[in-house]
C-alpha cells in the first residue's frame, strides 16, 4: 500500500476526496474541526484512516498533506498551527478556494520552514468530488505537483498547472466560478420570468437541454430551482464569496465586470433571505422577487 498522506478538512468536498484517495490505495491521516466527520470516515474505512487530535499532528506524521477547508476564515484559523508544524521535506497541497494573496502568503510561510507548497483549488462540487471527477487548478512547487499527481488522478479527471507563479490557480478558479455564478443567475431569472407568465417550466428546461445552451448546469440545477429543493452541493454563501473575490480581482486589474456585479447582488439577496447554507441554485428565490419566500428556519 502507498505511503499514508494527510488530509485536513473533511467537509462536503473533503469527504469525497478522501474516499477516492482510499479507493486509489492510500491510507489517510486526518483531522477535521468537527471530529464526528473524522470518526465517521475512519469507521467507514476501518484500518485505513487514522484520526488526529489537531491539524499540527497530521503535518507532523505525514510528508504529503492535503487541505480542503471551506472558507478563508477557516484557513486563517487553522494555518498557524500547520505552519508551526511544517519542516524541511514536507509538502502541502491546499485545495481550498482562497484568494491568490492568501495562497501566496501560505506558500511563503511554508518555504520559510523549508517545506514545499502547491495551490490546487478544485472546479467541481459535491457530486464530482464523490465521483472522482474534480478538476485541479494548480500552481506552485513543481516537485510537489509531481508528488501529488497520482492522488489527483484518483480524485479528479483533469489537472491544470499554471507554473510556479503562486496565485494563478486561485485566479483561474475565481474566473471559472464567476462565469458559473452568472450562468446560474441567468437560469434563475429566466425561470422566474417563465413562472410569472404561466409558461411550463418543465418545457423551458427541455428546450434549453435540446439547444445550444445545454450544459450539465441546465440538467442539474434547473430542476432544483423549479422544485425548490436546495440540498447543498455547493453552498450559496461560498458561491457569493467567490463572486466577491472575482469582483475584487477585476478592481485590481481595472476590468469592469457588470454582469458579475449584478449577479453578486442576487446571491447577497438570497443570503439575506436565509439561503446561505443551501445550494447556490437557491439564488432562484431572489430572482422570484415578491414571489420568492424567506426561508423558514426550524430550531
Domain spans of the chain, in order of start: 5-166, 171-291
* Block residue for cell numbers 447554507: 277
173 is catalytic: yes
Instruction: Calculate mean pLDDT across residues 44-62.
Output: 97
Instruction: Calculate mean pLDDT across residues 222-233.
Output: 96
CATH code that applies to domain 171-291: 1.10.1040.10
pLDDT for the residue numbered 75: 94
Instruction: Calculate mean pLDDT across residues 2-28.
Output: 95
What is the separation of C-alpha 62 from the centre of its chain, rounded to a whole number of angstroms?
24
Instruction: Calculate mean pLDDT across residues 258-281.
Output: 97
pLDDT for the residue numbered 294: 64
Which candidate in 173, 237, 241, 268 is catalytic?
173
187-212 CB burial, b ≥16 within 10 A, e <16: bbbbbbebbeeeeebeebbeebeeee
Per the prediction, the chain carries an average pLDDT of 95
| Longest Cα–Cα distance in the chain | 64
pLDDT for the residue numbered 296: 56
pLDDT for the residue numbered 255: 97
Cell of 243: 463572486
pLDDT band at 299 (very low <50, low <70, confident <90, very high): very low
Q: Which residues have CB under 8 Å from 293's CB, separation 6+?
A: 273, 285
Angle between helices 12-23 and 35-44 (to 10 degrees): 30
pLDDT band at 266 (very low <50, low <70, confident <90, very high): very high
Answer for the pair 21, 41: CB distance below 8 angstroms, yes or no. no
HSE, CB side, 13 Å, CA atoms: give it for residue 16: 19
Cell of 163: 507554473
Instruction: Calculate mean pLDDT across residues 260-273.
Output: 97
For residue range 279-293, what is the model confidence (pLDDT) as tens digits?
Answer: 999 999 999 986 666
Strands (E), the chain: 5-8, 28-31, 49-51, 64-67, 91-94, 116-119, 122-123, 134-140, 156-161
CATH code that applies to domain 5-166: 3.40.50.720
Q: Which residues have CB under 8 Å from 105's CB, separation 6+?
A: none
pLDDT for the residue numbered 2: 67
Q: What are phi and psi of 97, to 5 degrees?
A: -95, 100
How far apart, in whole angstroms, are the C-alpha atoms of residue 280 and residue 291? Answer: 18
pLDDT for the residue numbered 271: 97
pLDDT for the residue numbered 70: 86
pLDDT for the residue numbered 59: 98
* Block residue for cell numbers 479527471: 157
For residue range 137-164, what is the model confidence (pLDDT) as tens digits?
Answer: 999 999 999 999 999 999 999 999 999 9
Pairing of strands 64-67, 49-51: unpaired
DSSP 8-state symbol, 114: T
DSSP 8-state symbol, 235: B
pLDDT for the residue numbered 1: 46
Pairing of strands 91-94, 28-31: unpaired
Residue 298 has pLDDT above 80, yes or no: no
φ/ψ region of 170 (left if φ > 0, alpha if ψ in -120 to 50, else beta) reads alpha
For residue range 169-208, what is the model confidence (pLDDT) as tens digits?
Answer: 999 999 999 999 999 999 999 999 999 999 999 999 999 9
How far apart, in whole angstroms, are the C-alpha atoms of residue 281 and residue 154? Answer: 28
Instruction: Calculate mean pLDDT across residues 236-244.
Output: 95
18-29 CB burial, b ≥16 within 10 A, e <16: bbbbbeeebbbb
Whole-number CA gyration radius for the chain: 20
For residue range 78-123, what is the model confidence (pLDDT) as tens digits?
Answer: 999 999 999 999 999 999 999 999 999 999 999 999 999 999 999 9
Amino acid at each position: 500500500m502507498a505511503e499514508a498522506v494527510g488530509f485536513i478538512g473533511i467537509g462536503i468536498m473533503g469527504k469525497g476526496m478522501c474516499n477516492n484517495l482510499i479507493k486509489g490505495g492510500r491510507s489517510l491521516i486526518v483531522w477535521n474541526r468537527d471530529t464526528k466527520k473524522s470518526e465517521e470516515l475512519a469507521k467507514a474505512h476501518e484500518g485505513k484512516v487514522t484520526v488526529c487530535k489537531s491539524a499540527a499532528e497530521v503535518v507532523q506524521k505525514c510528508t504529503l498533506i492535503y487541505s480542503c477547508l471551506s472558507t478563508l476564515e477557516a484557513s486563517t484559523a487553522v494555518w498557524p498551527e500547520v505552519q508551526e508544524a511544517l519542516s524541511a521535506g514536507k509538502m502541502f497541497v491546499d485545495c481550498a478556494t482562497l484568494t491568490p494573496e492568501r495562497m501566496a502568503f501560505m506558500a511563503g510561510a511554508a518555504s520559510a520552514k523549508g517545506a514545499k507548497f502547491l495551490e490546487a483549488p478544485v472546479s467541481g462540487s459535491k457530486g464530482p468530488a464523490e465521483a472522482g471527477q474534480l478538476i485541479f487548478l494548480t500552481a506552485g512547487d513543481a516537485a510537489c505537483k509531481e508528488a501529488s499527481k497520482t492522488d489527483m488522478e484518483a480524485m479528479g479527471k483533469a489537472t491544470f498547472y499554471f507554473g510556479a507563479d503562486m496565485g494563478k490557480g486561485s485566479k483561474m478558479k475565481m474566473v471559472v466560478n464567476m462565469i458559473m455564478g452568472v450562468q446560474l443567475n441567468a437560469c434563475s431569472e429566466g425561470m422566474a420570468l417563465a413562472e410569472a407568465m404561466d409558461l411550463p417550466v418543465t418545457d423551458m428546461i427541455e428546450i434549453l437541454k435540446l439547444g445550444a445552451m445545454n450544459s450539465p448546469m441546465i440538467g442539474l440545477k434547473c430542476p432544483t430551482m423549479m422544485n425548490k429543493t436546495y440540498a447543498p452541493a455547493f453552498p450559496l454563501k461560498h458561491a457569493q464569496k467567490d463572486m466577491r473575490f472575482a469582483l475584487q480581482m477585476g478592481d485590481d486589474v481595472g476590468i469592469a465586470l457588470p454582469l458579475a456585479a449584478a449577479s453578486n447582488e442576487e446571491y447577497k439577496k438570497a443570503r439575506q433571505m436565509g439561503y446561505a447554507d443551501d445550494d447556490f441554485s437557491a439564488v432562484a428565490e431572489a430572482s422570484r422577487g415578491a414571489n420568492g419566500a424567506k426561508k423558514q428556519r426550524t430550531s
